């Protein structure tokens, strides 16, 4: 039995908890950034996909869903090819902004954003399709432009679905492993998130540390789920 379960020994705080705070903070930073990105992109894409007149709609939908079904390593490899030092986007970012995504927490956030994006996109599309078209027509006939229709009618009526997709995206981003490993590596203190730290500890035979991190991750996820459940229930609109 791991020794910390037999009671909080004097070594508990300095040896287990304090080192764990670094990957925990990094995980939260990466996951929240990724979720914010996935939310913005997913709402935009989901709204576009919910429009009946969009040409090639189902093909675009398939492309948007791809990160959900592809192995994370495939996504990680795509990102490496695109954003690596010799990748098209990677070189462009380096030249114009001096930004490198490889082996940085921003790279980890990008990876998590890509894998979490379909969850928001799918939920948003369904939610926007559920909005009565007559309500959007009514807004147009009352003089609202397309941006006004979106902000004043479609989004307020669809936001519950969007929010539940965003919560799933956050959960997915927290647990992201494969794509993150490929693009950001596993650098303790810089890109080592909780899931990577657990893998690292387990590989190196540091069982106490692995067990502690696993329990910590579970606890954080349970808290997140409780908070999101409460948040969703509080919402009186449709």
Partner 1 sequence: MALRLNIRKTLRSGAQEFELSTVFEAEGRSIVLFGPSGSGKTLTLRAVAGLMAPDAGRIELDGQCLFDAAQGINVPARERGVGLMFQDYALFPHLTVAQNVGFGLGRGLFGRLDREARRRVGELLDLAGMTGMADASPERLSGGQRQRVALLRALAKSPRALLLDEPFSALDPLLRARMRREVRSMCQALGTPTLLITHDPEDVAEFGGTVVLYDAGRVRRLEAFSDGPDGGCTGGPGARALVLGEHFSAYG
Binding site for partner 1 (CB under 8 A): 132, 134-135, 137-145, 147-148, 151-153, 156-157, 237-238
| Residues 161, 124 contacting (CB under 8 angstroms) | yes
**Residue 25 neighbours by CB distance under 10 Å:** 12
Query: Residue 73 or residue 238: which is nearer to partner 1 going by CB?
Result: 238
DSSP state of 144: -
Both structure tokens of 234: 């509080």
Minimum distance of partner 1 from residue 124's CB (angstroms): 17
Minimum distance of partner 1 from residue 131's CB (angstroms): 10
Alpha carbon distance 85, 191 (integer Å): 18
Residue 176 Ramachandran class (φ > 0 left, ψ -120 to 50 alpha, else beta): beta
DSSP state of 47: H
Query: Residue 7 or residue 236: which is nearer to partner 1 going by CB?
Result: 236
**Residue 176 neighbours by CB distance under 10 Å:** 27
Minimum distance of partner 1 from residue 151's CB (angstroms): 6
Query: Residue 61 or residue 136: which is nearer to partner 1 going by CB?
Result: 136
**Among candidates 48, 60, 64, which has minimal Cα distance to 154?**
48
Minimum distance of partner 1 from residue 134's CB (angstroms): 4
Query: Residue 136 or residue 176: which is nearer to partner 1 going by CB?
Result: 136
3-state secondary structure of 188: coil
Minimum distance of partner 1 from residue 114's CB (angstroms): 30
The sign of the dihedral angle between the CA atoms of 199, 197, 226, 164 is negative
Query: Residue 99 or residue 144: which is nearer to partner 1 going by CB?
Result: 144
Minimum distance of partner 1 from residue 36's CB (angstroms): 21
Query: Residue 62 or residue 135: which is nearer to partner 1 going by CB?
Result: 135
> Cα dist. 86→15, 64, 68, 97, 101 in Å?
40, 25, 26, 16, 12
């Amino acid at each position: 039995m791991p020794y910390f379960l037999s009671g909080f020994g004097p070594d508990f705080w300095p040896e287990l908890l304090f080192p764990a705070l670094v990957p925990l903070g990094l995980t939260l930073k990466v996951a929240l950034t990724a979720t914010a990105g996935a939310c913005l992109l997913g709402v935009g894409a989901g709204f576009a996909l919910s429009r009946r007149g969009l040409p090639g709609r189902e093909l675009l939908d398939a492309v948007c869903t791809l990160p959900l079904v592809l192995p994370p390593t495939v996504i990680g490899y795509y990102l490496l090819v695109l954003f690596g030092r010799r990748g098209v986007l990677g070189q462009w970012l380096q030249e114009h902004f001096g930004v490198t995504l490889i082996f940085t927490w921003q790279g980890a956030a990008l990876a998590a954003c890509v894998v979490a994006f379909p969850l928001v996109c799918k939920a948003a599309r369904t939610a926007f399709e559920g909005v009565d078209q007559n309500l959007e027509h009514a807004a147009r006939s009352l003089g609202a432009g397309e941006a006004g229709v979106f902000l004043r009618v479609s989004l307020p009526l669809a936001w519950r679905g969007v929010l539940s997709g965003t919560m799933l995206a956050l959960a997915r981003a927290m647990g992201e492993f494969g794509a993150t490993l490929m693009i950001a590596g596993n650098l303790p203190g810089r890109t080592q998130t909780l899931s990577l730290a657990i893998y690292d500890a387990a590989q190196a035979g540091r069982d106490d540390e692995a067990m502690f991190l696993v329990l910590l991750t579970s606890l954080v996820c349970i808290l997140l789920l409780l908070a999101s459940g409460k948040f969703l229930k509080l919402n009186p609109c449709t």
